Structure 1
Amino acid sequence: MDWFIGSGASDAHVKSRLEKGGVRCLSLEGRVIGLSILDGATIDLMMIDPDHHRRGLGRLLLRDAEETLLARYAAIRLESFADNTVANSFYEACGWRHGDRLEGEGPTKVEYVKKARGD
């Protein structure tokens, strides 16, 4: 994850999505401390400022994204870097099911899936 942020790729991705829409921000005292990007049935990106980790804000942001997408789709998905064990443990603790391993250019990713209740 550090290479993604450090390379500027995350900033470019957020900027491109701001122009298209689907960015949801979490702010505290007028400062953006987290964001999620929703694209169809996918949580495309979710980040919390590291200074605000371990305060329940990630769960809050994830719950907002889940509720928004599950109101429209029977199943939703997200991708995570395979070696991002902290994020992957977080998603699993929040009820996401580990799906396919996604090989391709760049670091390996894993897919997580969540279905609407009753499905």
Structure 2
Amino acid sequence: MRENLLSDPGRVTLRDYQDHLGPAGQTWVHEEDGVILGFSAATRATATIWALFIHPDHEGRGIGRGLLDCAVDWLWSQGAAEVGLTTGAGTRAEGFYRAAGWREASTTNGEIQFILPAAPLAPHP
């Protein structure tokens, strides 16, 4: 079963993707042998994860965690105090984000909003 399919893919436009390759954010891909197996995208202005998708045949290999870490690290480098994202309630993605340390901020219409506060910097010795 495939989860977190876009409920209205027509709402996501080519321009949305283009913006996350340039002015609005940043995008990362995981590629093997010339095939993209997953991607993540982050939005600078809202400090959010805009997308994180992995080909279902390649889930469970750590690709998603690696792509998520890239996006979060980039948002921290842009000065974000916390990072947010939304995902469907009761999905495997919900468990994935909880296991990665994300906190539930709210739930609306079956969508959970998660936040990840920036870790405090360790004191210098």
Q: Calculate the TM-score normalised by the size of structure 1.
A: 0.81
Counterpart secondary structure, 1:16 = helix
> Larger Cα Rg: Structure 1 or Structure 2?
2
Q: Does residue 1:97 correspond to 2:103, yes or no?
A: yes
Unaligned runs of 5+ in 2: none
Counterpart secondary structure, 2:5 = helix
Distance 1:49 1:93 in 2: 20
Which residue identity lines up with residue 112 of structure 1 in the other structure?
Answer: F
Tell me the C-alpha RMSD between the 2 structures. 2.3
Q: Which deviates more from structure 2 when the two are superposed, residues 12-21 or residues 22-31?
A: 12-21
Q: Count how many residue pairs are aligned between Structure 1 and Structure 2.
A: 112
Shift of residue 4 of structure 1? Answer: 3.1
- Judging by fraction of residues, say which structure has more helix: 1
Unaligned runs of 5+ in 1: none
Moved over 4 A (4+): none
Equivalent residue number for residue 80 of structure 1: 87
Equivalent residue number for residue 52 of structure 2: 46
Kept after mapping to 2: 8 A contact 1:78/1:111? yes
Aligned-pair identity in percent equals: 27
Kept after mapping to 1: 8 A contact 2:4/2:87? no
Change over 3 Å in CA distance of 1:87–1:3 after alignment to 2: closer
Distance 2:69 2:54 in 1: 14
Distance 2:4 2:96 in 1: 20
Q: Calculate the TM-score normalised by the size of structure 2.
A: 0.77
